Amino acid sequence: MGFFSKILAKLGIGSDDAAAADQAPAAPAPSAAPASPGVAASAPVVNPIALVDVVAQLEQRAAANPQKLNWRTSIVDLLKLLDIDSSFAARKELAVELHCPDDLMGDSAKMNMWLHKNVLAQIAANGGNVPKELLD
């Protein structure tokens, strides 16, 4: 399991959801009129990814945490809220996994800012409902 996979798992995004979807019975396909010659048939309806309300989860965790953690701007605080190792070595491992540019790896502040933005973007890409203002 990669470092980023741990983040998704803590948020309830990922393999557990996929396994549940695989075990769920498929919904019957809607009936469609036969395609006209030369016209491609429409793609089958696929079950949409269930969005996870990341903000609600993190706000709930922050409210229950005795530390005042600002997960909206800090990768360290985000990792702490998820009860994941937030050490420099762990963040560097995550940066390598997410392909952080080499020129940012030598500056921990720049790496942290890149990580925060990219972790939230990757969470959104994997089914997390992350507001646009946190992705810009």
Is 43 within a domain?
no
What is the domain count for the chain? 1
Residue tagged 């959104």 (tokens)? 124
The pTM of this model reads 0.72
Q: What is the pLDDT of residues 44-54, one digit of tens each?
A: 444 455 678 89
**Boundaries of domain holding 122:** 3-17+50-135
Is 12 within a domain?
yes
Is 111 within a domain?
yes
Is 61 within a domain?
yes
Q: What is the pLDDT of residues 47-78, one digit of tens each?
A: 455 678 899 999 999 999 999 999 999 999 99
User: How far does Cα 129 stand from its chain's mean position?
Assistant: 8
DSSP state, 87? S
Residue tagged 């990922």 (tokens)? 14
CB atoms within 10 A of CB 50: 12
Is 54 within a domain?
yes
